[in-house]
């Protein structure tokens, strides 16, 4: 047996022993015996560094510069492990996004492999985790489970029994990078479940049956006991003492009081200012509400004890239609059940709705949370015990040529865009309009802004009766006067203006770029101006908080900055400390959504940003919010969301472990502790930066 074969055998035996004990196993050791000549490079250079790490310097000539590490014995059998982890340290000042790909034979970047990535700030270190299976549970044989983003599976994108190599790389870089990797290991422990006895897998409380965990509710007695324990906790932790009734900083600087929330730059940082003139920074939570339905149509057999007709809990059956993605997109309408509200009835009794609302305000104050954020329940925030934001959702005629994850963009040149908004705002009369507790208004969410020519192209490929298309053509007629001049500029052959209106062909983006970007700007500014004007007409003293950008280009962001009081972003990342508006624009921004989730409490999906466990989730929360507090433009962060999503998912299948409370109304102590720690020192930290 040669030396390489012997070392491979040692690694294999060690892996098997570690797997049986549920311990991580090192796959690649960058110690003195590591053969650097076995590293396959692509537009990269490698060198062994002190401290058992491999330094990788990547160029930017290729799309995916990096390295390949092949399994020493031809393959790794990682069937007993959940993930591959790589410790990454950024060696330079600029942030770097590093990816790791776990390969089977025939991997091509899309098939027979799984990839994940992590962004590491300058001179910082983080751990990149690539999950080989979506959950810690693997079914013994195939079993169709529908309507969930995450669920136990028999097989996924990669076969853990036959991992042949690992790739570590950066994607389409514009500059060179340098980083170190160390301690590449397999971790977690996969439990194989008998598919024949897996169903049902949800108990009467809406929890996963086949696992226990700290804080799980096993009985009605425990449900009540958890509530009593929380009462003691809230009594011992009533909340920060140096706050006024709006949760502003009572002992901090006194600024001009207007009776409403406003924004002001104090010192070198932007702040919200509360109605009494006190500094305020919005530390909030989204989706503060009792409802949490899950579809049950075509999967009643998932649940062990759904209530029968006539039961007090049968009132929580319902009907759903919202399903923009996933299984229920093609199976709507569908029947639903709300385990969360059923558990509130069990816990609080017949007046559960009012008790839940009162408890929520007590919790938020105790946790150092001062804002009820987007998508929340009016019956809760209109108690006016915690400042809140108002969600304005409405629909109008769409821009037919556009596309987007949540649907087509609006045709802002159609009269319905303004008229429907005006009707929707009228609903807020005697509710949120001119209410000093209402910080301001988010209008829409995660619209399809595309790149900086997309909406103009969408207008041109729309039908002839599209108002946006007509508006675009009017601008082109003013500029070019004749269709011949337009054709010369664009390289097109439209015989008449009417032919251009009737046609649905997109021009060459490069040749038409000047006109496309001009109309994109006009569209974006019309969008924000119309909403600003209508909001200020009925709520002149309240803030326009923007549209909660998810996918956005600088042209759209500039338009928002021109008309909004605060520009909002949903930013699912691990840090927003360096987040800035384009072109050095100096104005307040707010984070409308962020979260982290873990799989150690019986849930099947981490959400958009993963954590290893509840303590790691809490640590990431603290880091994110404190990074935002150090950012001079950010005036608040809003966590998505108040409670875990249903274990079996909402209408579009999202079933994320992202709550401050679980489905049984029990708070997660780790993240509550993190929020308290941040919230109690919120204002001092923001002002003093430490």
Gyration radius of the chain over CA positions: 27
Q: Looking at residue 555, what is its pLDDT?
A: 98
**CATH classification of 220-374+554-688 is 3.20.20.80, yes or no?**
yes
What are the two backbone dihedrals, phi and then psi, of residue 82, each rounded to the nearest 5 degrees?
-85, -35
Q: Looking at residue 690, what is its pLDDT?
A: 57
- Structure confidence by residue, pLDDT tens digits, 107-153: 999 999 999 999 998 999 999 999 999 999 999 999 999 999 999 99
Residue 51, number of CB atoms within 10 A of its CB: 10
CA contacts within 13 A on the Cβ side of 439: 33
DSSP state of 333: S
Q: How confident is the model at residue 2 (pLDDT cuts 50, 70, 90)?
A: low
Q: How confident is the model at residue 51 (pLDDT cuts 50, 70, 90)?
A: confident
Beta carbons of 383 and 361 less than 8 angstroms apart: yes
Cβ within 8 Å of residue 656, ≥6 positions away: 149, 150, 595, 597, 603, 605, 606, 607, 608, 644, 645
CATH superfamily for 3-197 is Galactose-binding lectin (2.60.120.430)
SS (H, E, C) 598-625: CCCCCCCECCCCECCCHHHHHHHHHHHH
- The domains of the chain are located at 3-197, 220-374+554-688, 454-515
Q: Looking at residue 244, what is its pLDDT?
A: 98
β pairing state of 44-49 and 634-639: unpaired
Q: Looking at residue 294, what is its pLDDT?
A: 98
Beta carbons of 217 and 207 less than 8 angstroms apart: yes
Cβ within 8 Å of residue 533, ≥6 positions away: none
- Structure confidence by residue, pLDDT tens digits, 314-339: 999 999 999 999 999 999 999 999 99
> Which residue intervals of 237-385 are DSSP H helices?
339-348, 352-367, 378-381
Beta carbons of 139 and 195 less than 8 angstroms apart: yes
């983003």: which residue's tokens? 149
pLDDT at 373 over 50: yes
First-residue to last-residue Cα distance in the chain: 59
Q: Looking at residue 23, what is its pLDDT?
A: 86
Residues 428-437 as b/e (b if ≥16 CB within 10 A, e otherwise) read: beeebbbbbb
- Structure confidence by residue, pLDDT tens digits, 580-634: 999 999 999 999 999 999 999 999 999 999 999 999 999 999 999 999 999 999 9
Q: Looking at residue 6, what is its pLDDT?
A: 47
pLDDT at 501 over 60: yes
């Amino acid at each position: 047996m040669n030396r390489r074969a012997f070392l491979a055998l040692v690694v294999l035996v060690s892996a098997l022993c570690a797997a049986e004990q549920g311990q991580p196993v090192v796959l690649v050791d960058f110690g003195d015996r590591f053969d650097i000549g076995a590293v396959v490079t692509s537009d990269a250079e490698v060198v062994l560094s002190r401290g058992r790490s491999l330094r990788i310097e990547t160029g930017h000539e290729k799309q995916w510069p990096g390295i390949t590490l092949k399994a020493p014995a031809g393959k790794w059998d990682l069937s007993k492990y959940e993930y591959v982890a790589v410790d990454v340290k950024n060696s330079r000042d600029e942030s770097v996004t590093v990816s790791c790909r776990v390969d089977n034979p025939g991997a091509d970047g899309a098939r027979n492999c799984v990839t994940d990535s992590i962004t590491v700030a300058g001179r910082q270190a983080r751990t990149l985790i690539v999950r080989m299976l979506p959950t810690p549970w693997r079914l013994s044989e195939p079993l169709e489970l529908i309507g969930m983003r995450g669920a136990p599976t028999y097989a996924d994108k990669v076969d853990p029994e036959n991992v042949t190599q690992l790739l570590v790389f950066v994607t389409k870089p514009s500059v060179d990078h340098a980083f170190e990797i160390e301690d590449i290991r397999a971790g977690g422990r996969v439990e194989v479940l008998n598919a024949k006895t897996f169903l049902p897998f949800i108990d009467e409380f809406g929890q996963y049956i086949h696992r226990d965990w700290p804080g799980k509710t096993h009985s009605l007695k425990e449900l009540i006991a958890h509530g009593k324990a929380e009462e003691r906790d809230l009594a011992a932790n009533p909340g920060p003492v140096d706050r006024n009734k709006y949760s502003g900083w009572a002992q901090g600087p006194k600024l001009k009081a207007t009776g409403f929330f406003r924004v002001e730059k104090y010192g070198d940082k932007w702040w919200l200012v509360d109605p009494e003139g006190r500094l305020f920074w919005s530390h909030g939570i989204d989706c503060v509400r009792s409802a949490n339905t899950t579809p049950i149509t075509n999967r009643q057999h998932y649940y062990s004890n759904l209530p029968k007709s006539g039961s007090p809990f049968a009132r929580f059956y319902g009907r759903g239609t919202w399903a923009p993605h996933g299984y229920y997109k093609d199976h709507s309408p569908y029947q639903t059940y709300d385990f969360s509200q059923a558990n509130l009835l069990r816990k609080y009794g017949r007046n559960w709705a009012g008790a839940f609302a009162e408890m929520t305000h007590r919790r938020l104050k105790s946790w150092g949370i001062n804002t009820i954020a987007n998508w929340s329940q009016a019956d809760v925030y209109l108690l006016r015990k915690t400042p809140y934001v108002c969600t304005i959702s409405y629909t109008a005629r769409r821009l037919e040529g556009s596309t987007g994850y949540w649907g087509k963009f609006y045709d802002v040149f159609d009269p319905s865009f303004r008229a429907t908004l005006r009707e929707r705002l009228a609903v807020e009369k005697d509710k949120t309009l001119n209410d000093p507790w209402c910080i301001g208004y988010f209008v829409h969410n995660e619209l399809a802004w595309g790149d900086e020519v997309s909406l103009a192209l969408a207008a041109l490929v729309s039908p002839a009766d599209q108002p946006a298309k007509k508006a675009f053509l009017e601008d082109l007629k003013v500029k070019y006067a004749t269709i011949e001049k337009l054709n010369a500029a664009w390289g097109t052959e439209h015989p008449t203006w009417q032919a251009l209106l009737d046609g649905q062909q997109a021009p060459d983006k490069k040749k038409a770029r000047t006109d496309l970007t001009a109309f994109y700007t006009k569209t974006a500014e019309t969008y924000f101006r119309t909403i600003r004007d209508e909001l200020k007409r009925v709520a002149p003293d309240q803030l326009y908080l923007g549209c909660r950008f998810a996918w956005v280009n600088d042209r759209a962001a500039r338009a928002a900055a021109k008309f909004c009081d605060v520009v909002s972003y949903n930013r699912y990342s691990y840090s927003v400390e360096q987040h800035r508006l384009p072109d050095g624009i100096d104005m307040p921004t707010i984070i409308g959504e962020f979260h982290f989730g873990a799989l150690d409490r019986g849930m099947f999906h981490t959400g958009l940003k993963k954590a290893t466990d509840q303590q790691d989730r809490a640590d990431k929360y603290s880091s994110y919010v404190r990074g935002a507090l150090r950012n001079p433009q950010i005036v608040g962060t809003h966590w998505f969301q108040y409670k875990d999503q249903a274990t079996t998912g909402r209408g579009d299948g999202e079933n994320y472990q992202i709550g401050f409370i679980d489905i049984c109304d029990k708070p997660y102590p780790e993240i509550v502790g993190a929020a308290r720690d941040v919230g109690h020192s919120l204002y001092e930290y923001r002002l003093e930066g430490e």
